[in-house]
């Protein structure tokens, strides 16, 4: 059975672990992805850049400095050098020895675990090549149906769809567009990622009527705490949106928290 990112086709709203269960595990690593699955995620969001020798790897930043014990731009390091880096010890010594995974390894994991992958192209210097390499891996691993490629650069997404028939894409937005459907149609995207403060029920209904999907991006727990400290609670309306079938996927760092919201709304897997 083909994987679907649309809730009405999947039979449930997707819980998406942002960079895996990144609140409690080193982001964009296989332990974080597996922990997200265990905590109730049905999809995970990962970020992709290229090594010097053109290998797609799972890394958010253009440099390895923040998340590993290494230094420099990933684009200046070959895969062998990337393999020697520790991607867990900076997060917590308990995760020492954790490696940066390749996209190929991550796709193999997703297929075995029956998980969906929301794959963001972060590569800045060779984005077109990154999209081509990813598309080739999807076909080689038989995972084209369970991956949606996302990005802020809608022109890159448009060209990727044109070059690779069957590739599903999602446009990231940080604004409420006057013609959201037109934005997606212009770049050939099947879905849109929307921040909580820009999500509107009318837009969600219009997207679904046009056969398009959405992914609601939740703030980190410390940002949500600011609402509660100020006497405001956005959760009831979010649960209602989910219950009303307006949300296809809800994404964030705190996977168990998101899973509880979806369960509360009666749309869990």
* 182 contacts 161 by C-beta, under 8 angstroms: no
Our answer to whether residue 174 is catalytic in this structure is no
Task: Quote the pLDDT of residue 1.
Answer: 60
Distance CA 185, CA 138 (A): 23
- By C-alpha distance, which of 4, 3, 19, 9 is closest to 217? 19
Q: For 207-263, what is each residue's pLDDT tens digit?
A: 999 999 999 999 988 899 999 999 999 999 999 999 999 999 999 999 999 999 999
CA distance 149 to 162: 13
Of 12, 60, 177, 208, the catalytic one is 60
For 24-70, how does the pLDDT look when each residue is reduced to its tens digit (9 = 90+)? 999 999 999 999 999 999 999 999 999 999 999 999 999 999 999 99
User: Cα separation of 122 and 62, whole Å?
Assistant: 8
| pLDDT grade for 2, boundaries at 50, 70 and 90 | confident
100, 58 contact by CB (below 8 A): yes
Coil vs helix vs strand at 137: helix
Q: Which of 14, 18, 154, 267 is catalytic?
A: 18
Q: What is the pLDDT of residue 220?
A: 87
Q: Which residues contact 7 (CB under 8 A, 6 or more apart)?
A: 13, 14, 213, 245, 247, 248, 249, 267
pLDDT-based confidence at residue 141 (cuts at 50, 70, 90): very high
- Dihedral sign, Cα of residue 86, residue 92, residue 98, residue 100: negative
130-56-136 Cα angle (round to 5): 65
* H-only helix segments in the chain: 7-10, 30-38, 79-83, 103-113, 127-141, 154-163, 180-187, 201-209, 221-229, 235-243, 255-264
Identify which of 202, 180, 241, 247 has the alpha carbon closest to the alpha carbon of residue 10.
Answer: 247
**Is 18 assigned a catalytic role?**
yes
Residues in a beta bridge with 116 = 43
Residue 81 CA from chain centroid, whole number: 26
Of the two residues 221 and 103, the one the predictor is more confident about is 103
């Amino acid at each position: 059975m083909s994987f679907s990112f649309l809730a009405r086709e999947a039979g449930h709203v997707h819980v998406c672990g942002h960079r895996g269960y990144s609140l409690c595990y080193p982001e964009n690593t296989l332990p974080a992805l597996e922990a997200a699955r265990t905590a109730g995620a049905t999809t995970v969001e990962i970020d992709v850049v290229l090594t010097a020798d053109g290998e797609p790897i799972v890394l958010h930043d253009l440099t390895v400095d923040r998340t590993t014990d290494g230094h420099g731009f990933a684009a200046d390091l070959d895969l062998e050098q990337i393999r020697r880096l520790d991607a867990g010890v900076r997060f917590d010594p308990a995760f020492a020895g954790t490696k940066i995974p390749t996209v190929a390894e991550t796709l193999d994991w997703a297929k075995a675990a029956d998980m969906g992958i929301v794959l963001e192209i972060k590569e800045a210097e060779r984005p077109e090549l990154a999209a081509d390499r990813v598309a080739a891996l999807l076909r080689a691993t038989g995972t084209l149906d369970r991956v949606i490629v996302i990005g802020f650069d809608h022109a890159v997404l448009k060209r990727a769809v044109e070059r690779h028939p069957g590739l599903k894409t999602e446009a990231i937005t940080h604004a409420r567009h006057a013609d959201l459907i037109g934005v997606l149609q212009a770049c050939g995207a099947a879905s849109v990622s929307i921040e909580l403060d820009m999500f509107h029920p009318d837009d969600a209904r219009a997207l679904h009527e046009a056969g398009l999907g959405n992914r609601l991006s939740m703030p980190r727990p410390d940002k949500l705490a600011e609402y509660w400290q100020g006497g405001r609670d956005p959760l009831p309306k979010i649960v209602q949106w989910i219950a009303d079938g307006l949300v296809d996927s809800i994404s964030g760092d705190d996977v168990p928290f998101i899973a509880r919201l979806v369960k509360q709304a009666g749309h869990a897997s």
